[in-house]
Structure 1
């Protein structure tokens, strides 16, 4: 039976108060987590941007976009990890 995979896209916004090392550590953490559970097709780090509205009293965030393919069960686990990770202001995962 063939392995079922789907295409996904995730955007995550990190708190800039983590500092450059903290942001880089989180970026690498999530890149490796996604690559362990799927295949990364594109990573686009948008960098520091002004938020449209304040989130947790922050007006700036560090944006990262990752396109990947994985099993349908993985995005739910990725979303759970986003929610419990300090420094993640917002995240979104969509099926393409």
Structure 2
């Protein structure tokens, strides 16, 4: 079964635009050769909520791709990103299919409102 993955990567904000383009190209090439690559969404340079590796800013990129779960490409990209010194942080998640989310939400029972006054009538 194909699953859609989203990987957010925060590159070191002190890198030049050329260095970030080069690192982005490496990641895209890996994903294009190993998955059904959809797109890269560049969120740009932003201040970090807290200091990471003595850096105060980072450049955010979102990669969206599909893969068969038995290929373990998500694990391979995680390893590739961990070894990359230009990457401050990264996170990969599986995008949920809307039908599954809707089915799961239907199974929840609505809470019953309690009698606030507390007295019997």
Normalised to the residue count of structure 2, the TM-score between the two structures is 0.73
User: C-alpha displacement at 1:92, in angstroms?
Assistant: 0.4
Higher normalized contact order (CA 8 Å, seq sep 6+, divided by chain length): 1
Query: After TM superposition, which residue ranges in structure 1, 4 or more long, deviate above 4 angstroms?
Result: none
Tell me the secondary structure at the aligned position of residue 21 of structure 1.
Answer: helix
2, 6, 10: which one pairs with 2:7? 10
Normalised to the residue count of structure 1, the TM-score between the two structures is 0.91
Aligned to 1:50: 47
* Equivalenced residues, count: 93
Structure 2: runs of 5+ lacking an equivalent = 96-121
Q: Which moved more, 1:86-95 or 1:33-42?
A: 33-42
1:13-32 aligned at under 5 Å gives the runs 13-32=10-29
- The structure with the greater share of residues assigned to strand is 1
Q: Report which of the two structures shows the higher radius of gyration computed on alpha carbons.
A: 2
1:65 and 2:62 matched:
yes
Provide the rounded CA distance (Å) in 2 between the counterparts of 1:21 and 1:43: 17
User: C-alpha displacement at 1:70, in angstroms?
Assistant: 1.2
